Amino acid sequence: MGEPLRNRYFALGLAASLGIGIIISLFFASDLLYGWQQRSYDIFFQTTTSRSVEPDDQIVIIGIDEESLNELGRISEWARANYARVLDSLTKAKARVVVFDVLLSEPAPGDEELASSIRKAGNVVLPVILSREAADFPAIRWTEPAEDFVRPLGVFSAGALAHGHANISPDRDGVVRSLPIALCAGDNCEPSLALATAARYLRLPEVIQSPAVDAGLPFAGRFIPLSENREMLINYLGELDKIVNFRVVSFLEVLEDRVDSSFFQDKIVLIGAVASGLGDIYWTPVGAKNGVWLHASAIHTILSANFLKPVASGMTIALMLIFSLVVAFFVLRLRVLHATIVSLLLLVLYFLAAFSLFDRGILPNLLYPPLSIVASFAGTAVYGVFVERSEKRKITQTVGRYLSPTVVEKILAAIACGGLKLGGEEQEATILFADVRGFSQISRQMPPRNLVELLNKHISLVIKAVLENDGLINKFGGDSLMAVWNAPVKSQDHALLAIKAALNAQSYINGLSRQETGLRMEFGIGINTGRVLAGNMGSEERLEYTVIGDAVNTAARLADAAPGGMVWIGADTLALVSDRIEARLLDPLKVKGGNQALQAYEVLKIRDMGLDTEGEG
């Protein structure tokens, strides 16, 4: 392949790979592979150790568990006095903030007692819920309006320290990875329960002190990264990349004063359902968890400032395009094995870098950039195969001008099997030379352009005859040509095929002479068989397949001596075909460069080959 063609092939390969990168970028921008992309984020959490860290010393969960339900009955029938007694115990224990993940929106016995306990405590955060009837809450985000919130009874809200929405919004695949930092119903917006709790724990005067800017929310000296939907990603991991853990005590144990009061001192205490029968279960990247655990995880993320920030979309797209070009470069420049190794190494390096960034709170995309590497590798490799086959077809077509299709197939098969060796190899071959008689005289009778046209018209008939008989056109010499049989691939009856080609050529030329008037050309054809050195000759920069040896020289001398329209062969050729042809013994020839007389034979006819061809003089 020439340098310009090679450069064009390389440029087209890069362009094709870049096109693949652009297509994958469009997939990314349109969320076409949304489910796979979201699940790829889960890998960061799922590849960590399954062991949990030591329980967080700031957050405690009082769980409404099976033991509490068995003792106190259905939760909907509980007297509010139960909550009041637990809250009083927490107040006595000097809990910093108490968070109810229980919506107290319906009247029940003991409301006044609980309201009094809430007022006395002065540190209670109550939940509100965006009504499911008002809007499909998983789709509700920062600015999308809904009709109203479902709120606790006014008698409870009046004494509460703060309120926060307790809505949990799973992604479209049902997995909870984030929480809306705030929700709005009309002009009324509520911060998340986690954000309100963290603000009160830190004793901030306002939960949201300033609006979100630059895809984040300034908060108590922190900057909470937010997604385009104004959601905060929950980091389910704590120190040492282990799943964050919270101490859970039974609601019944606290109610019956079976827990040391010092356990709750200066802590955030969440009260919520942990019994599986209550249905407050959600799927997360680290498994099935209840709602109160999710709120605790969100609070932990904010207080620890262990935030996760996705890599910007523009950066992800840029990486995909760069990877597409880099992979294509190596696939087009290196061998398949080496390109595969480089591509796999690039994948490994990206994953290592991704997990390193995750440890620093940056969440890279684990789907699309690796997909761009794989797709670009596959696409460029397929492109390479297509180009290789196209080049093979071109080579076959080009070589087919010098060889018959049968020989072309044999040579390509031999190359594939390693049958063609570099350098020379001694073997028997039959060589044919065809030389125009009186060419110098003819050239003086016509302009060069007409001379070339006439020569090509005649010599093409010789080429046709050679190719029809599985010969190799080895070289041209102005008004002559050289053809070879039995090299580079083996050929049975190579001597007979060469003679047949020579007689056919003379017949074609005679036919042309009868059809056209004007100047005509006659060829003297010489054929000889013998041991030759066949192979790639020349230098590393310029190679040529040819045959050399005394048998070649003899064939050339025979052609030089043969009259126009005749086919002369050497004794070694006759020895191989004596029973197949009729030949006339000639007087020994004295030829240039030869020390001894050369015995030659004129071919008259081929017997029993379905061809009754005679040499014509």
pLDDT at site 569:
96
Q: Which residues, in sequence order, are CB contacts of 432 under 8 Å at separation 6+?
A: 466, 471, 482, 483, 484, 485, 498, 501, 502, 525, 526, 527, 555, 559
- Per-residue pLDDT at 281 exceeds 60: yes
pLDDT at site 169:
85
- Per-residue pLDDT at 5 exceeds 70: no
Overall average pLDDT of the 43-51 stretch: 74
Q: Any idea what DSSP says for residue 598?
A: B
> Please, are residues 500 and 615 in contact by the beta-carbon 8 Å criterion?
no
The rounded percent of the chain whose pLDDT value lies above 70 is 85
State the DSSP string of 235-258.
--B-GGGEE---EEEEHHHHHTT-
Q: Give the separation between CA 599 and CA 573, rounded to whole angstroms.
A: 11
Q: Give the separation between CA 9 and CA 332, rounded to whole angstroms.
A: 9
| pLDDT tens digits, 494-522 | 999 999 999 999 999 999 988 877 778 99
Burial 165-188 (b: 16+ CB within 10 A, else e): bbbbbebeeebbbbbbbbbbbeee
| pLDDT tens digits, 319-354 | 999 999 999 999 988 888 999 999 999 999 999 999
| pLDDT tens digits, 347-400 | 999 999 999 998 888 989 999 999 999 999 999 888 887 876 676 666 556 555
Overall average pLDDT of the 214-218 stretch: 85
- Please give the structure tokens belonging to residue 235: 């980091």
Q: How confident is the model at residue 50 (pLDDT cuts 50, 70, 90)?
A: low
Q: Provide the residue count of the chain.
A: 617
pLDDT at site 421:
52
| pLDDT tens digits, 82-91 | 999 999 999 9
Q: What global pTM score does this model have? A: 0.65
> Please, are residues 494 and 429 in contact by the beta-carbon 8 Å criterion?
yes
- Per-residue pLDDT at 69 exceeds 90: yes
- Per-residue pLDDT at 458 exceeds 70: yes
Please report how the helices 368-399 and 336-359 are oriented relative to each other, as an axis angle in degrees rounded to 10: 170
Q: Measuring CA to CA, which residue among 232, 139, 105, 220 is closest to residue 177?
A: 232
Return mean pLDDT, the chain: 85
- Per-residue pLDDT at 115 exceeds 90: yes
Q: Any idea what DSSP says for residue 109?
A: T
Comparing 523 with 492, which gets the higher pLDDT?
523
| pLDDT tens digits, 282-329 | 999 988 999 999 999 999 999 999 999 988 889 999 999 999 999 999
Q: Any idea what DSSP says for residue 287?
A: E
- Per-residue pLDDT at 146 exceeds 60: no
Comparing 142 with 29, which gets the higher pLDDT?
29
- Per-residue pLDDT at 559 exceeds 90: yes
- Per-residue pLDDT at 140 exceeds 80: no
pLDDT at site 403:
53
